[in-house]
Amino acid sequence: MNPPWKLVALAFVLVGSVNTIDVASGDPGSPGLVGRSNAAGDSMLLLAALTTSDRDQARQLVAEAAALMDAFGGPGMALGEAAAKLRAALQINPDEPAAHLELARLAMKSGGGLEPPTLAFAEASIRRALAIDPGYGNAFVLLGYVLTHGRRLKEADAAFVEAERAGATSPWLEYNIAELRERQGQSQVAAELMTQVAAAQAKSNGVRSSALQWLQSFHTYAHDYDQADLAYRRQIELSSVAPWPMGNYSRFLRVRRLDTAGSERYARQALAIMEYGMARDSLAAALYLQWAELRASGKNPERANALFAEAARLNPDLSELVSEIGYYPRAHPILDALVAKGISLDTLPGIAGGTTPLSIAAGNRSPALVSQMMTLGANPNTAGYAGMTPLMLAAQRGDERWCDCCSTEAPTPRSSRATAGTPNGERPN
């Protein structure tokens, strides 16, 4: 597959002599990145021949392309339509600044994300728009965003000042400034700005939903799960027909609250809207945890077997649960079930040198979970990220109680990767 920014460039090559895009320059500020191949005199004649109707038509096409990108949430067809409309707009009027601005957005939405080549392409398109209209406030808003994610924070700050000075109308201005404040180390200021954006009725649902998603991460990282929970539920209210907020909430309820029934419910709701991998995996995990709860209680073995069977159909690799167990708020019988199947609690599946679940549990100050892990054989001397062991991380934090707990002779871990196998706890053949 071609890199996304090259695909965007190829989509515009049909513009031919009117507008040529060269992504090979490597200089984000170079006019060669987005420039016209015509001689200057020919170009001026072309623009002089544009009628008001032509300009209006180009702007209408840009507006339609922007609407397609605003609504984009999955299939690439909408982006292909948007690219075609922008190409048509630039064929009519190569100096339509909004077309160049939307081209920058298209590049970032087309799979190129925020990788350096995509950011360079986007910046060049935005600067092209500003060269045409130096007072284009909304172009400064997007420029600030691109510069923020390119780690050019002082330049980003200056871009947002220009956006405000120019009277930018973009609903993303405050959101983008909040992102910049976070990267400048002003997390609390960023959180206050994001809270204001999320509460602003005048903002579009897309902007408010993005702010709520940011707040989910912020409050989760701060272990303020009540506020994180509220942000998840508010996002679902705003995006009631979108599956992803429900799928994300399913994971939060399971991992941070061990609410397996709630996790199952929201995963099923997400899958009822759209069948996609993350929701299937979340449902499988919720069912595995419910199976482990019944397994430990010894009650209703038929129901336990049915839960296991459905979970295994959704995701047969039970060991993937190891990647989340360190975040659980308390001990849970799924750990006993994993060890009974020969699955190690010491390493993350498929992540060589990753932070160990025991380190994560200790960092989350979950003593009951730490005690359960060590009882089951988790080793405080297993090296994870950067060679750090759980014991070393505890010492680094000055956690004397945890250090004393880990300083005893490390247990012998029961390790072996295994798939789900059978529901009764024995290792598969």
pLDDT digits (tens, 9 = 90+) for 202-218: 998 989 999 999 999 99
Region 297-310 average pLDDT: 96
The pLDDT of residue 392: 74
The more confident residue out of 390 and 303 is: 303
pLDDT at 5 (0 to 100): 44
Lowest mean pLDDT among 43-52, 153-162, 327-336, 372-381: 43-52
Q: At 281, which amino acid appears?
A: D
- Angle, CA of 71, 181 and 177, to the nearest 5°: 40
19 has pLDDT over 60: no
Report pLDDT for 72.
66
414: left (phi over 0), alpha (psi -120 to 50) or beta: beta
Whether the CB-CB separation of 46 and 38 falls below 8 Å is answered with: yes
Predicted local distance difference test score (pLDDT) of residue 60: 97
Burial (0-12, 13-18, 19+ Cβ within 10 Å), 398: exposed
Select the more confidently predicted residue: 39 or 69.
69
Q: What is the pLDDT of residues 160-210, one digit of tens each?
A: 999 999 999 999 999 999 999 999 999 999 999 999 999 999 998 989 999
3-state helix, strand, coil split of the chain in percent (to 5) is 65, 0, 30
Q: Calculate mean pLDDT across residues 231-247.
A: 94
364 vs 275, residue with greater confidence: 275
Confidence label for 346 from pLDDT (cuts 50, 70 and 90): confident
pLDDT digits (tens, 9 = 90+) for 76-110: 568 889 999 999 999 999 999 999 999 999 999 88
Q: Is residue 394 a contact partner of residue 406, using CB atoms and an 8 Å limit?
A: yes
**Mean of the per-residue pLDDT values for the chain?**
83
Q: Is 50 exceeded by the pLDDT of residue 64?
A: yes
User: In the prediction, which pLDDT does 361 show?
Assistant: 87
Assess whether pLDDT exceeds 70 at residue 75: no
- Quote the pLDDT of residue 398: 67
- Segment 348-367 shows an average pLDDT of 75
More confident residue, 325 or 349: 325
In whole angstroms, what is the distance from residue 35 CA to residue 22 CA? 8
Which ranges of 108-172 does DSSP label H, i.e. alpha helix?
116-132, 137-149, 153-165
Please state, for a pLDDT cut of 70, what percent of the chain lies above it: 77
Q: Please give the pLDDT value at position 70.
A: 84
**What pLDDT score was predicted for residue 113?**
77
Give the model's pLDDT for residue 390.
72
259 has pLDDT over 60: yes
Integer Cα distance of 102 and 122 in angstroms:
9
* pLDDT band of 52, cuts 50, 70, 90: confident
Higher pLDDT among residues 52 and 100, named by residue: 100
Question: What's the mean pLDDT in 351-377?
Answer: 82
417: exposed, middle or buried (C-beta count within 10 Å: 0-12, 13-18, 19+)? Answer: middle
Q: pLDDT value at position 222? A: 93
How does residue 140 score in pLDDT terms, banded at 50, 70 and 90?
Answer: very high
